[in-house]
A and B are shown apart, each in its own frame.
Chain A
Amino acid sequence: MLNLLKEAVLKGDMTEAAELTSQALEDGVSPGEILSDGLIATMDIVGQEFESGIRFIPEMLVSAEAMKSAMEILRPQLIASGIESRGKVVIGTVEGDLHDIGKDLVATMLEGAGYDIVDLGVEVTAGQFVEAVQKHSPDVVAMSALLTTTMVFMPGVIQALQDAGLRDSVRVVIGGAPVTRDYAEEIGADGYADDAPTAVALVKSLT
């Protein structure tokens, strides 16, 4: 059954993925097993196939959507079983920056990897990041910037988290075209990723 579910997610069949998830639950497969062996493992394959040039982003997204439809069936069962998500990520594009393609991709891929996502959108101020951390208690804060004149707001967010006494409770990761690993180190971020699959691997390594 899980193999069929994997196939459905790989080919991005939302209806089949949802039906097979229901069927697996009816057959007595545990929600945790469906999540880890059926869905997250498949999305790992999808990410690897993108990294190795087998898949394009549209092909990744249909798989992510198939997983999402399966998760709608699975989520109540996971909650009932006391199984928690892999972690929570607050994500946003920093102040003054309207670019969101990269941020959206990272959010989608993280969701596919089993994380709960709080997407703050674009032009997110340091205060809004702090507020979201206070409200949602995430494991990770992820920031994106596409302009050299907006990446400079990233250290301000880290400082604001520090000032609010929240810095030690979250890991901070950054990304975006002008951002580099060196810059991440310079501003005291916990990690840097230059594309969505790398961001997923990074968040996994930090949570």
Chain B
Amino acid sequence: MAITDRDHFVYGRCPNPVECGHGLTIGGGSVVPEINFTLPPMEIAESTWPEVRRQYSEMIGSVLERAIQLEVPQLLVEFETLPGMTHRPAWGLEIVRLLADALARAHTEHGLKCALRFTPNDIRESSRPPLMRRGEHWEAMNEIFSGAGHAGADMISIESTGGKEIHDKALLHADLKGIVYALGVLAYRDMAFLWSHLVGECKRQSILPAGDTACGFANTAMVLADRGMIPRSLAAIVRVATVPRSLVAYLEGATGPSKDCAYEGPYLKAMAGIPISMEGKSCACAHLSPVGNVAQAVCDAWSNESVQNIQLLSGKAPVVSMEHLAYDCRLMNTASAEDGGALRLSRWLAESDAPLDVQAYVLHPEVVLRLCERIVEGVTPYEQTIIAVQESIEEMIRAVDDNAVQLPEREVDWLNRLRVAAAALPAKEEAMIDQMIEAGSYADVYRPSEYGLQGA
């Protein structure tokens, strides 16, 4: 545990800050806005490529102009490719160069401390069942990884999808055993494979191996819960259960900042001491959530997730997002300048959301620290995943009993059912693997060998 004391678990500061890009420090005392933007509805093709370039030029130009007008001192820009740009690496890298050049000019001409996060897609799931360690999609990803630094990226992140092919199905069936198999057996193996590779690649290119996100797992759950499709308590359990999986990137040598949509970030910060990027109310332009304030409580970079380049009354949407982030960060950093100010604001951010939804409750910094202390008792990622599931359930049940968080009646019943399912999970990873493979569970959607496992 890198952080054990709530008094030291606040936004803007972490035990292992990083320096990157043009004089940018993340986690060193102030919160940095992280802006991301994407195309309006349009096709990405040879014929539309000049327009794609023009859109990105317009977005980065207008965002930087507004940041400079608002005297933003530090800025992180994320470029997350669209799938077509990873399938065709030259396209993705061309946009990286375009953005990196704009950031370099802003630094030279205006003194803006800034950096570029580059997030290619995990396109391995284009094969069904996915090929995780070979094939044309993995090769395209490698090509884009290997060109990132040369194109001007300062760090690489990814939203990796190992295990997601099972997790999606298990989530819809509220199959806790399938969820734990996906996260605690498959996903962590893939993370170890992917991040050992990425860390080596980033070292070679002298850029940061920033980190991964369990977005495809826990944010899928959050969005489904928000639409009333699955219980919120299940989404909260999944959130905590993703922690050991995402932690693997840092055990392999990733440095942070974690990716914005990794809402498991507070857990990673407490355990690994890395700086984290978060998003909350600032990303309502991309998706809704019940964690708008609490997500901000211990962030080191504060992001909008992504916004389309569409016209709003005041200007283009990326400029609007830039302004939101700039003011949010200005407030947080002003509070930090007062004695105890950061902790006070962090508490308000946490306590304004946590009692209203179990998904917010499990992101409350005090709850995060309690659960982290239990999770690290596990030796392997599988054991940690089991602990994360069981302890998050117990934490929620206690909180509901104490009226510390509200939960609709039908959800209380679900939480109790999930508690029974959690108690029945195999304690040993080998037993879990044997049971899943022998039963042929989800056999049609994944290839065990792609995770280093023997098939049935």
Contact = CB atoms under 8 A, between A and B. Distances in A.
Answer yes or no: are A and B bound together in one complex.
yes
Interface of A: 50, 53-54, 56-58, 61-62, 96-98, 100-101, 104-105, 121-123, 147-149, 151-153, 178, 195
A101 B229 CA distance: 11
17 contacts: A56-B174, A56-B228, A56-B229, A57-B230, A61-B172, A61-B173, A96-B44, A97-B83, A100-B168, A104-B172, A148-B39, A148-B40, A148-B41, A149-B39, A149-B43, A153-B43, A195-B227
Nearest to B82: A149
B125 interface: yes
A97 B172 CA distance: 20
Given A98-B126, A101-B172, A148-B38, A56 B227 contact: no
Nearest to B40: A148
A74 to B, nearest CB: 23
Contacts of A58: 172-174, 230
Question: Chain B interface residue count: which class?
Answer: 20 to 34
Residue of A54, A121, A149, A152 contacting most chain B CB atoms (<10 Å): A149
Contacts, number: 61
A111 to B, nearest CB: 14
The B contact surface, by secondary structure, is loop
* Interface SS majority for chain A: loop
B224 interface: yes
Given A58-B172, A101-B220, A151 B84 contact: no
Given A105-B172, A178-B41, A96 B84 contact: yes
B172 A149 contact: no
Contacts of A101: 168, 172, 220, 224
Contacts of B197: none
A200 to B, nearest CB: 15
Contacts of A96: 44, 83-84
Nearest to B414: A56
Contacts of B38: 148-149
A152 B174 CA distance: 33
A58 B414 CA distance: 11
Contacts of A105: 172
Given A178-B41, A195-B227, A147 B82 contact: yes
B230 A152 contact: no
A101 B224 CA distance: 10
B42 interface: yes
A123 B126 contact: yes
Contacts of B228: 50, 53, 56
B17 interface: no
Nearest to B39: A149
Contacts of B174: 56, 58
Contacts of B410: 54
Given A56-B231, A152-B41, 12 more contacts: A56-B229, A58-B230, A98-B126, A101-B224, A105-B172, A122-B128, A123-B126, A147-B82, A147-B83, A148-B40, A149-B41, A151-B41
